[in-house]
A and B are shown apart, each in its own frame.
Chain A
Amino acid sequence: MRRIGLKSLILIGVLLSCLVLAGSEGVFDIRRVLALQLGVLWMIGLLASIMGLAISYFLRSHRESSHHLGFGPYDTRPPASQLLFEARAYALWMGPRDETPAWEFNRPVYVFTISFALLLAGFSMLENRSLMLLKHFHHNMSKDYGQVCPEEGAAQEEAELKPKPEKYGCDLVKKAFALGYTKDLGDCADDPKEKTDEICTHRQWDEPSSHYSYRLIEKFALGLWDSISGLHQSLSPESIAKSTKKLPELSKHHAEGFKGEARSSIHVFTDLREPGGTKEQLRRSLHPNHCQDELRELRFSLAEKGRDRSSQLEDAIAHLLFNPAVAKGAEYCRLYTIHWAAAPSTCEDIVAFGPRVLASLGVNEPVTAVLERQRLEKQFPPPEPKKKAADGKAEAEEVASAPPAPPTPERARISFHCLMTREITPSRSEVKLDGQTFAVSSELLPSVDAQGLMPSQPLMAAVARAFIPGFSYTNLDRKLPFTMSEERFQTEIAKSGDHLRLAKFELLKMSDILAGDQWVASYPEYMEVYPWQTHLSNFVQKFRRAMKREDESK
């Protein structure tokens, strides 16, 4: 049978807790202890010793504990004890002191253990700054944090010394009033508010801090009581039912905000198959943010994507809409979904059958989510920023610094774009969803050339037109206002024979494929070093400006 006194048991628990605390705070790292100032070390030691002695004294360390924890055969358990655990013939119990003595720390060990535990706690919690705070304790406590009412009589003197500024244009009105031409001074009359002697509730200039603290506590308690009384009244079943009626929708609205649910859902359908092999397609489906990663790897190489037309189309869309390196106003790629291997009649079906066909296309869920989010945003608009703070400068500053909430758009940003290689005629229609109309556009992709590639210029133009109807990029839009014909190019590159090759590459800066200089594509050795960035950025800039205008006009 084993017995241990409750005081010793608690002491062991405290010691273990302090050891864990000290370990987690890195007290056992000697560098931390050495970094402490001598004054702090002395303070920790002194506090630990004094408090250790005091605790030992108050807990009467020389006397046995009133209770004990015992473990042993079940039969040896005292009758007055409380059984805590029992297994086979053994038991764990808690019982009162009796004739059988329990194991206890002897007194010096008791004092030492408490002091050691306090020492560890001190090292964990105190640092060099603690001593400084202690030094300034009185100053910090007696610091004046609030406004102080002016000294009696001083306010009057001040008012006399500093006359009120005259209201502009009131001289004439007052003169007319004095002469009896008017019976009313109007706005020029003295403000009645100024006449009343308001009681200053701030700290009085001669008020002791304890009295002021008492007043503040009283004010807080009264305010709390008022709130509780008001709450009690508002807790009637009717008012609860009324005020929580929209709670599920409000929670949903906030949840959507936290989750960052999309406010736009733009769908691009194409009859081309998804680029990449099975492994690549699996990677994309498992990685929801793949478009961001791929964007980082995007290169200026439109016509060099091999014979994979899907990759060419994907590149064109990425450059036009998402690439931030080309021009300002890039869109967030996750709002756009490309649906590969779609039927050529997809857009016609959307226009003809509306919401019924969306489910079969797999776009019903994101579209509904966007519409729902817009509905909730209209129902719970963000609070209007206050024009003028009710009280206090801090609130006014807070209001001024808060970013303005984005206005809820009148229409959800949803659209459907078809980029097909066959069987469609370019068109622009609308579909009605949830009482709103959304754009549905179809565009025909260019046919492949002899090398099996889609030519860059018609490809970019087709993709651009799918989003901005009638978009065109002509000779007048090129970056440099100079053009170069193929004949001139041939003449120039023929100069100096095979020399000055790098300088001849400079001529490509004047030949914009996207503005119609498609002949450059027939010079493969030049196309390998074609300065795509220069020309593409110009094209994309124009497209994004047009897109912004279109969005603003809706």
Chain B
Amino acid sequence: MKALAIFLFALCLSTGTAKSAEIGAENRAQYLERLMSSIRSMPAAEFERLASESQSVFSELCRSSDPSLALSCSFEASEKICKSSLDNASCLLVMDAFIVERLNANRFVSVRERYEMMSRGSDFKARMAESLQFRYGTIVQAFSLGDAASCKAGDFTCLGKSLEKFCQNEAKQGRLSYQSCASVVALYIGRHSQGN
């Protein structure tokens, strides 16, 4: 009787955990869906404004050697930046992707490469952007050739689910953190994917 009770308890726990994991994955997929559709529907001028604002957040406003302080500051800065925006929710979504992308940009380009870019001339920003685009393109290509291949370009529900799965796998393989992968692909897909 005792064994049966333990078994049933364990079964309930395992079912509960699996279910909560599924819910978590679904929530993240929906979030990614909203993120991509916000990026797509955002006017180009607004998108550029947020890109430049997020750049200045980490280079000026929230510059800190303690990443937790920088992050905390960026949360507050994002709220302020988005206050003036017409669509506050979309603005915060896009800012979220920008914050993570900017925070992790240096992980994609090694210190040596950055040093070489700096020593080659004054056009560091352009070179860095070019190098990052190349690396992001590789990740997006890997994503597009996976489960996302069956999704239509404008079907963000399907793309969101595929992106959630893809980034979980990338994180478990130790190549990228989940959030870094999601922000890079979402920004790229949201901005560049065309058609239906």
Contact = CB atoms under 8 A, between A and B. Distances in A.
A257 interface: no
Nearest to B17: A451
B177 A500 contact: no
Interface residues of B, number: 41
B60 interface: no
B174 interface: yes
Contact of B171 (A325, A501, A531): A531
A510 interface: yes
B168 A529 contact: yes
Given A503-B99, A524-B20, A524-B21, A529 B178 contact: yes
B97 interface: yes
Interface in A491-518: 492, 495-496, 499-503, 505-507, 509-510
A502 B25 contact: no
Contacts of A507: 68, 71
Contacts of A525: 24, 27
B79 interface: yes
A451 B95 CA distance: 36
Chain A at the B interface: mostly helix, strand, loop or mixed?
Answer: loop
B67 A509 contact: yes
Interface stretch (A339-347, A462-470, A480-488): A480-488
Contact of A506 (B25, B71, B92, B171): B71
A266 B49 CA distance: 60
Contact of A495 (B66, B76, B172): B76
A299 interface: yes
Interface in A437-489: 450-452, 480, 482, 484, 488
A506 B95 CA distance: 14
Contact of B75 (A482, A500, A524, A528): A500
B53 interface: no
A502 B179 contact: yes
Contacts of A528: 21, 24-25, 28, 168
A301 interface: yes
A529 B171 contact: yes
Contacts of A450: 13
A505 B179 contact: yes
A299 B95 contact: no
Contacts of A325: 174
B85 interface: no
B75 A503 contact: yes
A533 interface: yes
Contact of B67 (A307, A480, A529): A480
A495 B10 contact: no
A105 interface: no
Contact of A502 (B20, B21, B100): B100
Contacts of B162: none
B68 A492 contact: yes
A112 interface: no
Nearest to B70: A506
B171 A488 contact: no
A306 B16 CA distance: 12
A500 B95 CA distance: 8
Nearest to B91: A499
A197 B97 CA distance: 87
Contacts of B168: 528-529
A300 interface: yes
Residue among B20, B71, B72, B183 with the most chain A CB within 10 A? B71
B75 to A, nearest CB: 5
Contacts of A531: 171, 177-178
B182 interface: yes
Nearest to B183: A502
User: Across chains A and B, which 10 residue pairs bring their CB atoms closest together, nearest first?
Assistant: A533-B174, A529-B178, A499-B92, A299-B172, A502-B179, A505-B179, A495-B75, A503-B99, A500-B96, A502-B100
Given A300-B173, A496-B78, 19 more contacts: A300-B172, A301-B172, A482-B66, A484-B68, A492-B75, A495-B75, A495-B76, A495-B79, A496-B75, A499-B89, A499-B92, A500-B95, A500-B99, A503-B71, A503-B75, A503-B103, A529-B177, A529-B178, A529-B179
Interface of B: 10, 13-14, 17, 20-21, 24-25, 27-28, 31, 35, 66-68, 71-72, 74-76, 78-79, 89, 92-93, 95-97, 99-100, 103, 168, 171-174, 177-179, 182-183
Interface of A: 299-301, 306-307, 325-326, 450-452, 480, 482, 484, 488, 492, 495-496, 499-503, 505-507, 509-510, 524-525, 528-529, 531-534, 537
